[in-house]
């Protein structure tokens, strides 16, 4: 199915780790999957700023939400009802459920007769006040992360802050990451948890593992050998019997303690 070139979807890039990795054009991994879904259906997709710089994507190992941060996209020349239905079906396929009426994971902006109209992924209108508050929350996340990088470690050897559920709250400090080339794995060195409530949750078994987030600066699809951001395959899905896997280079940004890590081996060992 193809569409006229006048039908276009424009995404706004967002780099939550701007203070560590400045100048990168970044989308989330989930946003990237939505982008390629739209491309395969014939829509023209642009990621702003459309300045020709390389597109990277962010990952948060451990967050199971489809979209951990709201995504803003501007829809040009596509009927509102048609596109809202397409997005609702995509969200359902990812979550295996419909989104809650008050959830705003996707902000869809349309030009309706010269007037801008915004809707959530469930088709509910998004007011100007709600839109501004969402954009402010995204900027606040950037600032929180930047401020935590300025904190003084309690001990020089414990220099790496440890967050809670990728939410910008520092609950401890670690001696850093441990890279094992033979096992092709990344581990977390000795870590001290200083937050009392977090220690209690670990003892109760509520927080069970670690999660590393960062920016994928380079990724190659092992099916088509193209850059993953440019191809139309999705990691984990099968194409003609072959599962799509991706070889990546990740710029680590932060580590978090989480309730349920995606990697089964990324578990907390207490002393």
Q: Which of 126, 147, 168 is the last residue of a domain?
A: 147
H/E segment holding residue 118:
strand 115-119
CA distance 39 to 104: 23
Please indicate, yes or no, whether residues 121 and 191 belong to a single structural domain of this protein.
no
Please indicate, yes or no, whether residues 136 and 164 belong to a single structural domain of this protein.
no
Contact 172, 164 (CB under 8 A): no
Contact 73, 107 (CB under 8 A): yes
Nearest-10 crossing angle of helices 29-40, 80-95: 130
Q: Are strands 25-28 and 185-188 parallel, antiparallel or unpaired?
A: unpaired
Please indicate, yes or no, whether residues 140 and 156 belong to a single structural domain of this protein.
no
Please indicate, yes or no, whether residues 157 and 50 belong to a single structural domain of this protein.
no
Please indicate, yes or no, whether residues 14 and 138 belong to a single structural domain of this protein.
yes
Please indicate, yes or no, whether residues 66 and 115 belong to a single structural domain of this protein.
yes
Q: What is the pLDDT of residues 87-129, one digit of tens each?
A: 888 887 776 655 565 677 889 999 877 788 999 988 899 999 9
Domain count along the chain: 2
pLDDT band at residue 239 using 50, 70 and 90 as cut-offs = very high
Please indicate, yes or no, whether residues 160 and 181 belong to a single structural domain of this protein.
yes
CA distances from 243 to 34, 165, 220, 234 (A): 19, 30, 14, 9
Please indicate, yes or no, whether residues 52 and 67 belong to a single structural domain of this protein.
yes
Burial of 54 (0-12, 13-18, 19+ CB in 10 A): exposed
Q: What is the pLDDT of residue 91?
A: 82
Q: Which of 113, 131, 147 is the last residue of a domain?
A: 147
pLDDT band at residue 60 using 50, 70 and 90 as cut-offs = confident
- Asked if residue 42 belongs to a domain, the reply is yes
What number of residues does the chain have? 271
- Asked if residue 177 belongs to a domain, the reply is yes
Please indicate, yes or no, whether residues 60 and 139 belong to a single structural domain of this protein.
yes
Average pLDDT across the chain, whole number:
86
- Asked if residue 65 belongs to a domain, the reply is yes
Residue burial 38-51, b: 16+ Cβ < 10 Å; e: rest? beeeebbeebeeee
CA distance 133 to 177: 35
Mean pLDDT of 3-17: 82
- Asked if residue 78 belongs to a domain, the reply is yes
CA distance 257 to 19: 22
- Asked if residue 12 belongs to a domain, the reply is yes
CA distance 213 to 4: 38
- Asked if residue 270 belongs to a domain, the reply is no
Q: What is the pLDDT of residues 245-270, one digit of tens each?
A: 999 888 988 889 988 777 777 787 77
- Asked if residue 266 belongs to a domain, the reply is no
Please indicate, yes or no, whether residues 26 and 142 belong to a single structural domain of this protein.
yes
Contact 99, 67 (CB under 8 A): no
Please indicate, yes or no, whether residues 96 and 136 belong to a single structural domain of this protein.
yes
Going by C-alpha positions, the residue among 84, 67, 72, 70 that lies closest to residue 48 is 72
Mean pLDDT of 55-71: 72
Model pTM score: 0.81
- Structural domain harbouring 162: 151-258
Please indicate, yes or no, whether residues 161 and 176 belong to a single structural domain of this protein.
yes
CA distance 173 to 240: 46
pLDDT band at residue 71 using 50, 70 and 90 as cut-offs = confident
Q: Which of 147, 162, 180 is the last residue of a domain?
A: 147
- Asked if residue 215 belongs to a domain, the reply is yes
The two structure tokens encoding residue 28: 């989330």
């Amino acid at each position: 199915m193809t569409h006229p070139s006048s039908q276009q979807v424009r995404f706004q890039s967002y780099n939550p780790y701007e203070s560590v990795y400045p100048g990168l054009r970044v989308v989330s991994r989930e946003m990237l999957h939505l982008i390629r879904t739209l491309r395969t259906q014939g829509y023209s997709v642009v990621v702003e700023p459309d300045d020709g710089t390389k597109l990277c994507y962010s990952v948060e190992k451990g967050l199971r939400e489809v979209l951990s941060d709201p995504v803003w996209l501007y829809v040009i020349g596509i009927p509102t009802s048609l596109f809202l239905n397409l997005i609702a079906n995509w969200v359902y396929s990812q979550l295996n459920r419909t989104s809650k009426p008050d959830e705003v994971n996707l902000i869809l902006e349309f030009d309706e007769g010269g007037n801008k109209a915004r809707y959530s992924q469930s088709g509910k209108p998004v007011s100007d006040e709600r839109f501004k508050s969402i954009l402010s929350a995204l900027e606040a996340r950037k600032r929180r992360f930047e401020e935590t990088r300025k904190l003084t470690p309690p001990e020089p050897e414990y220099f790496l802050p440890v967050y809670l559920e990728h939410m910008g709250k520092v609950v401890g400090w670690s001696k850093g990451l441990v890279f094992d080339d033979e096992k092709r794995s990344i581990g977390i060195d000795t870590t001290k948890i200083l937050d009392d409530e977090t220690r209690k949750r670990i003892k109760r078994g509520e927080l069970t593992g670690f999660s590393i987030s960062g920016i994928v600066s380079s990724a190659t699809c092992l099916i088509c050998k193209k850059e993953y951001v440019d191809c139309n395959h999705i990691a984990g899905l099968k194409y003609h019997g072959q599962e799509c896997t991706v070889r990546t280079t990740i710029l680590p940004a932060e580590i978090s303690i989480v309730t349920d890590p995606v990697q089964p081996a990324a578990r907390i060992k207490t002393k």
